[in-house]
Chains A and B, each alone.
Chain A
Amino acid sequence: MKKLRVAILGTGNIGTDLLIKIQRSAVLECTLFIGRNLASPGMKVAVGMGVPVSDQSIHAIVKNPDCCDLVFDATSAKDAQVHWPILEKLGKIVVDMTPAKLGELCIPAVNLKESVECQNVNMVTCGGQASIPIAHLIGQTHEDIEYIEVVSSIASRSAGPATRINLDEYIDTTEEGIKLFSKAHKAKAILNLNPAQPCIDMQTTIFAKVKKPNMEALTERIDAVIQAINSYVPGYKLLVPPVYENGRIIIMVKVQGLGDYLPKYAGNLDIINCAGIAVAEEYAKKLEQSESLINWQNG
């Protein structure tokens, strides 16, 4: 099978970890790793792997549009807004790793098939990737959801400068995702940075206030949801199964990373990258099928 040609914009933690994950993929090939500084640690990793690199940022793709079919935007919410109109015109598929909310919000365990119909998909946030499949399950098993709240705690050392400066966007985007996928009337997202040493794993708690709690249905179906996420995020675990306490449903999960470019405790960065890879691979499969369909018709 021909691999889908992928460029990565942004050579920080997210971009570099994506690069390593792509090397393992049977259907993706990184054809250009793009940043602004050839001396950055991420660039050195890419050069070491023999991946073509550029320090021309978005101009690298403008100058050479044939370099790729799909672009991972691993820059910042602000930069992603500048990049998208350019990439849209060039006909590139964009998997947006920032909380810019320009494209379709995508949670692979929930809407993978629908997402690849769009030219720009947004991977929401790490907290969104961890909590939305569960919020979606609560939405499917309950009629009237008054409120869903998700609280994520992550290791300080796993929160880079972009995460810290984008806290407000993190909150907005996570809340929007929760409401969209659960149909809750109200949503709230909270993020804590914990400096404890050794570093803590990412932990996310989902609280829900519903008219008629159906704990049986939740308990019955929660394992299937965890398994669906495990198919692309192996380190995702159920920590506290659905409990009803003090008038609220509580479910807690924990995310350990794969330890690719980032340490295992950085489950927050790993989960969004695993989700990004899952959607890029789905695009690859879809394009392969449509191409073989064309070949078959022509033949």
Chain B
Amino acid sequence: MVKNIIISDTTLRDGNHAVGHQLKAEQIAIYAAAADRALIPIVEVGHGNGLGASSMQVGISAEDDKTLLTTARENLTTSKLGIHVIPGFATINRDLKRAIDIGVDVVRVASHCTEADITQRHLGYVREKGKEAYGVLMMSHMASVDLLVEEAQKMELYGAEGIIIMDSAGAYLPSDVEERISALIESLSIPIGFHAHNNLGMAIANSVAAIEAGATILDGSARGFGAGAGNAQVEVLVAVLDRLGYQTNIDLYNILDATDIAEKDIIPVVPIIKSDNIVSGLTGVFSGFSKHVSRIANEYNVDSRDVYFALGERKVVAGQEDIIVEVVLELVKNKKK
């Protein structure tokens, strides 16, 4: 039996982290159209931290949400338009309502892996509006397997039609992924997905582990364009899944074309795993912190690796970028002593 895998392309959302949320409308238009030609099922668009997240804390967007979403909408015919929404950043009235009016098809409501109950209202709203609603558990390596299952079950109860767990820090090895996806498949009756980061060079291997354990949704991006060391490289995923006998309905030549276009017009630096990314993966720190850590550590002349270890000890979650400044100032103070 051929098993279908849904690919959600995060180039225009997670990729925004890699350029400090500076993606321009023209770039959205170019890649959305190319991804649409490649028949990618879902194209996710927006600020790296999703709807309403343009801020000093995580980075001010070059374009507002409305521009990003309307531009993508105009360039997608068969692919669905997806967004990422974190309650605490985005509100229903200010952000979600408008996004749905613009014509978003798929809404992924995300929370830190232990905080699923903050997604209840947003998931409910999306279902009420008749759009596809998924639950996302970010930084999933920070919860035990049992707790992760419990939180995913809450989201299922709130109306999520699928759950995606994110390896936001790129901290997993394939066995970690296999264990978690298997537990989720066993305990939930909705599709399960996986979102990889490549900090330890495991993005493709971990994605394969997820699929082999029963996941049916995978996130990937052109050339791996995403936060930190980047995501699973979507064109590689398509090729590997094909070799493994899974069906994505994505045409290889067209996805290769789309990602070549991305490299030419969208991606200033193709992601590689830098020293900082490895430390970020080892210390379990959110990949989205990398640009901020490099800049602030450099500005105050401290070792960014020390910053990651200090952040890891504090168990910071996605959204706590302000703590980087505090940690750096503390390191400076200790250095003077």
Would you call A193 and B315 a contact (CB within 8 A)? Answer: no
- Residues in A with CB closer than 8 Å to B114 are 156, 195
Would you call A167 and B88 a contact (CB within 8 A)? Answer: yes
A78 located at the interface, meaning its Cβ lies under 8 Å from any Cβ of chain B in the complex: no
CB < 8 Å neighbour of B91 from A156, A168, A248:
A168
A171 located at the interface, meaning its Cβ lies under 8 Å from any Cβ of chain B in the complex: yes
Segment touching A, from B72-80, B177-185, B318-326: B318-326
CB < 8 Å neighbour of A151 from B112, B142, B295, B322:
B322
Q: Determine the residue in chain A with the shortest Cβ distance to B54.
A: A188
Listed residue (A149, A190, A245) with the most chain B CB atoms within 10 angstroms of its CB: A190
Mark each residue of chain A from 57 to 82: 1 if its CB lies under 8 Å from any CB of chain B, else 0: 00000000000000000000000000
B55 located at the interface, meaning its Cβ lies under 8 Å from any Cβ of chain A in the complex: yes
Would you call B319 and A192 a contact (CB within 8 A)? Answer: yes
A1 located at the interface, meaning its Cβ lies under 8 Å from any Cβ of chain B in the complex: no
**Shortest distance between the CB of B290 and any CB in chain A (Å):** 16
Would you call B325 and A250 a contact (CB within 8 A)? Answer: yes
- Residues in B with CB closer than 8 Å to A191 are 88
Given contacts A194-B315, A194-B316, A240-B329, contact A165 B55 (CB under 8 A): no
A55 located at the interface, meaning its Cβ lies under 8 Å from any Cβ of chain B in the complex: no
CA distance A168 to B115 in the complex (A): 15
A161 located at the interface, meaning its Cβ lies under 8 Å from any Cβ of chain B in the complex: yes
B282 located at the interface, meaning its Cβ lies under 8 Å from any Cβ of chain A in the complex: no
- Residues in B with CB closer than 8 Å to A239 are 326
Would you call A193 and B56 a contact (CB within 8 A)? Answer: no
- Residues in A with CB closer than 8 Å to B27 are none
A164 located at the interface, meaning its Cβ lies under 8 Å from any Cβ of chain B in the complex: yes
**Shortest distance between the CB of B221 and any CB in chain A (Å):** 25
Would you call A165 and B88 a contact (CB within 8 A)? Answer: no
Would you call B314 and A172 a contact (CB within 8 A)? Answer: no
Would you call B322 and A252 a contact (CB within 8 A)? Answer: yes
**Shortest distance between the CB of B167 and any CB in chain A (Å):** 17
Would you call A196 and B326 a contact (CB within 8 A)? Answer: no
Would you call A194 and B320 a contact (CB within 8 A)? Answer: yes
- Residues in B with CB closer than 8 Å to A147 are 56
- Residues in A with CB closer than 8 Å to B117 are 161, 164-165
- Residues in A with CB closer than 8 Å to B334 are none
Given contacts A156-B114, A164-B117, A164-B118, contact A192 B56 (CB under 8 A): no
CB < 8 Å neighbour of B315 from A196, A203, A209, A245:
A196
Mark each residue of chain A from 193 to 225: 1 if its CB lies under 8 Å from any CB of chain B, else 0: 111110010010101010000000000000000
Would you call A168 and B121 a contact (CB within 8 A)? Answer: yes
Given contacts A168-B87, A168-B91, A193-B112, contact A205 B299 (CB under 8 A): no
Would you call A168 and B326 a contact (CB within 8 A)? Answer: no
**Shortest distance between the CB of A160 and any CB in chain B (Å):** 11
A246 located at the interface, meaning its Cβ lies under 8 Å from any Cβ of chain B in the complex: yes
Mark each residue of chain B from 97 to 120: 1 if its CB lies under 8 Å from any CB of chain A, else 0: 000000000000000101101101
- Residues in B with CB closer than 8 Å to A165 are 117, 120-121
CA distance A203 to B56 in the complex (A): 16
Would you call A240 and B325 a contact (CB within 8 A)? Answer: yes
- Residues in A with CB closer than 8 Å to B322 are 151, 153, 203, 205, 207, 250, 252
Would you call B57 and A207 a contact (CB within 8 A)? Answer: yes
Q: In terms of DSSP, what is the predominant structure of the interface of chain A?
A: strand
Would you call A167 and B57 a contact (CB within 8 A)? Answer: no
Would you call A207 and B56 a contact (CB within 8 A)? Answer: yes
**Shortest distance between the CB of B124 and any CB in chain A (Å):** 11
Q: Determine the residue in chain B with the shortest Cβ distance to A172.
A: B91
B92 located at the interface, meaning its Cβ lies under 8 Å from any Cβ of chain A in the complex: yes
Q: Determine the residue in chain B with the shortest Cβ distance to A208.
A: B56
- Residues in B with CB closer than 8 Å to A207 are 56-57, 322
Mark each residue of chain A from 217 to 248: 1 if its CB lies under 8 Å from any CB of chain B, else 0: 00000000000000000000001100101101
Listed residue (A200, A203, A205) with the most chain B CB atoms within 10 angstroms of its CB: A205
CA distance A252 to B314 in the complex (A): 16
CA distance A239 to B114 in the complex (A): 27
**Shortest distance between the CB of B326 and any CB in chain A (Å):** 6
**Shortest distance between the CB of A184 and any CB in chain B (Å):** 12
- Residues in A with CB closer than 8 Å to B323 are 153, 203
Q: Determine the residue in chain B with the shortest Cβ distance to A169.
A: B91
**Shortest distance between the CB of A260 and any CB in chain B (Å):** 26
- Residues in A with CB closer than 8 Å to B319 are 151, 153, 190, 192
CA distance A200 to B88 in the complex (A): 18
Given contacts A168-B93, A196-B314, A205-B57, contact A156 B115 (CB under 8 A): yes
CA distance A197 to B88 in the complex (A): 21
**Shortest distance between the CB of B307 and any CB in chain A (Å):** 15
Would you call A248 and B118 a contact (CB within 8 A)? Answer: no
B145 located at the interface, meaning its Cβ lies under 8 Å from any Cβ of chain A in the complex: no
Mark each residue of chain A from 102 to 114: 1 if its CB lies under 8 Å from any CB of chain B, else 0: 0000000000000
A binding-site residues for B, Cβ under 8 Å: 147, 149, 151, 153, 156, 161, 164-165, 167-168, 171-172, 188, 190-197, 200, 203, 205, 207, 209, 239-240, 243, 245-246, 248, 250, 252
Can you offer 22 A-B residue contacts whose CB atoms are under 8 A? A147-B56, A153-B322, A164-B120, A165-B120, A168-B87, A168-B121, A171-B91, A172-B91, A190-B57, A190-B89, A192-B319, A195-B114, A195-B142, A196-B314, A197-B315, A205-B322, A240-B326, A240-B329, A245-B299, A246-B295, A250-B322, A252-B325
Taking A194-B316, A246-B299, A250-B322 as known contacts, 6 extra A-B pairs with beta carbons closer than 8 A to each other, sorted by chain A number, are A167-B91, A190-B89, A195-B114, A196-B315, A203-B322, A207-B56
